């Protein structure tokens, strides 16, 4: 029985770790520079067809595009240089 509980926890751990997060997927064929503003601001690049996780309440801005504030469970996409959720 302990073995089954351990396996269940192992399989659920990734799901629990991202609870409260939003996903951002770059559907464009090129990379984009983005800024993620939570308690501090982080700049990074997101490659084509890449998915990243962002904490809820953070604001994501695409360089040369728009910005959104994400909520828990949002599935956002970058398309045409703009982000939408």
> What is the pTM assigned to this prediction?
0.76
What is the domain range of residue 34?
Answer: 20-84
Residue 1 included in any domain: no
Q: Is residue 44 part of a domain?
A: yes
**For residue 72, is it within any domain?**
yes
Residue identified by tokens 């396996």 is 7
What's the pLDDT band for 7 if we cut at 50, 70, 90? low
Count of domains forming the chain: 1
Residue 12 lies in a domain: no
Q: How far is CA 65 from CA 8, 43, 81, in A?
A: 42, 14, 6
pLDDT digits (tens, 9 = 90+) for 18-58: 457 999 999 999 999 999 999 999 999 999 999 999 999 99
Q: What angle do CA 54, 56, 57 make, to 5 degrees?
A: 115
From its phi and psi, is residue 20 left (phi > 0), alpha (psi between -120 and 50) or beta?
A: left
């Amino acid at each position: 029985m302990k073995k089954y509980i351990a396996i269940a926890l192992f399989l659920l751990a990734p799901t629990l770790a991202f609870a409260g997060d939003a996903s951002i997927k770059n559907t464009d064929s090129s990379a984009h520079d983005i800024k993620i503003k939570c308690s501090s601001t982080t700049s990074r690049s997101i490659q084509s067809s890449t998915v990243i996780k962002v904490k809820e309440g953070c604001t994501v801005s695409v360089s040369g595009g728009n910005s959104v504030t994400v909520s828990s469970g949002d599935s956002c996409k970058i398309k045409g240089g703009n982000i939408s959720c």
